[in-house]
Amino acid sequence: MPGMASAHSHAFQRALRGRTQSRNANKLTAAGNFWSWRDQMFQLVAELTPDDVLAISRFAFVELAMCGVTAVGEFHYVHHDVGGKPYANRLVMSEAVIEAAAEAGIRLSLIRTGYYRAGYGQTLHEGQKRFCDDATEQTLRDVQALTALTVGKTDHFRVAIAAHSIRACQQQQYLDLSAYAKQHHLPFHMHVSEQQREVDECVAEYGKRPVELLADDGVLDARFVAIHATHLLPHESALMGRANAIACICRTTERDLGDGLPVAADLAQAGVRFCVGADSHAASDAFEEVRAIELDERARHERRIVAAQGEALLAAATTHGYAAIGYADMLGQDQVYLRADDPSIADAMIGSRAETVTDAVVFGANARAVDRVIVGGKMIVDGGRHIHYDAALASYLACLKRLS
């Protein structure tokens, strides 16, 4: 099968897996909701060094490769040192992610993210200071500097732009970033309506819901990728569909954080293209990410085949995923070989027609079925194991011990 894209990743958050799931007396883990989870994420961010980001990201990417992911869009927003002071080398955190992807052997789109405020009428949290630039001019200078690093490497390393969200960017700021992306034909990503509170704050500030605002501002187009698109009304799905925009659904993370459930059937009916992302790396299973678009919608509607069938879901994981992160021209250059005798798909493969083989893979396969992964002609997974798995795991575990 073609290689799959994980179009939305915060690789450093892999270090949080399993650490935020329960409450206890001293509140070290407050289960609560997205916002209490975010507080814990801020605690992790406060400790991270560039070496930590390298170790965590490398292992996160190795894990994704072992489940058939060959290209990643890293929505990168940890830019600065503790307290928000820029490093002497402003790109040092970005370069750690770039090195991690190169060592894992995957294609990377470094999505340089603009983040400027805590939210409408809110005070900046200490943990957010490492994310924030003072102005869009700084963000775009970094984009230009990163683009210069891609020279001679564009088969495996490219750059895109994001405005973190409407709550983290004022209107003129996301317009500046969007204009640059349009001018340079780059993908433009943004968290959109992930939380109902985000929608309410947008209405309070602008008198419009997020997608309404973005549509009126001319931001929506075929290169726009709405991350999550969870709390949309039907007319917002229609606005995205008319713009030929992409919705990046991240179900394992959205489930984990209690974000809510995007109305995938409305989005599909409106003609919105889907892609998927590992997001917080709550799980590393590209097959589950993509089939969950349909399976979770079945739970809402209490019937089957609601949003997308196997072929459309496969396109979300491959064709639309590669397009969302600026690698449409590389589609088909990467291959994932599955074990046809793996129990997750073997029964459906016996005597199957072509369309049911696709269904068997999309709805049945998991990482265990992945045998070999080839990116740009180089094998990075062989016999289900990444060629650098042991070294990546060792450095990751050492990093976790240091971060306690």
Give the Å distances, CA to CA, from 254 to 1, 17, 36, 172. 27, 14, 14, 29
Between CA 7 and CA 108 the distance in angstroms is 10
Please provide the distance, in angstroms rounded to a whole number, between the alpha carbons at the two ends of the chain: 40
H-helix segments, 105-167? 136-149
The contacts of residue 228 (CB under 8 Å, 6+ apart) are 191, 192, 193, 194, 247, 248, 249, 250, 254, 259, 262
Distance CA 56, CA 13 (A): 8
**Calpha distance 116→164 (Å, rounded):** 9
Q: What angle do CA 197, 199, 204 make, to 5 degrees?
A: 95
Q: Is 279 tagged catalytic?
A: yes
Which of 133, 279, 359, 371 is the catalytic position?
Answer: 279
Compute the chain's Rg from CA coordinates: 20
Cβ distance 64 to 72 under 8 Å?
yes
Q: Which residues contact 46 (CB under 8 A, 6 or more apart)?
A: 82, 126, 127, 130
Pairing relationship of beta strands 370-375 and 334-338 according to DSSP bridges: antiparallel
Between CA 338 and CA 110 the distance in angstroms is 28
HSE-up of residue 118 (Cα within 13 Å, Cβ side): 13
Question: What sign for the dihedral angle of Cα 192, 197, 199, 201?
Answer: negative
**Alpha-carbon distances, residue 95 vs 91, 157, 218, 265 (angstroms):** 6, 11, 32, 39
User: What values do phi and psi take at 378, rounded to 5?
Assistant: -105, 130
Q: Which of 191, 228, 231, 386 is catalytic?
A: 228
Say whether 228 is catalytic.
yes
Q: What whole-number distance in Å separates Cα of residue 55 and Cα of residue 5?
A: 21
Contacts of 392 (CB under 8 A, 6+ apart): 58, 59, 62, 103, 104, 386
Six token digits for residue 276: 């998927």
d(CA 66, CA 8): 17
Residues annotated as part of the active site: 228, 279
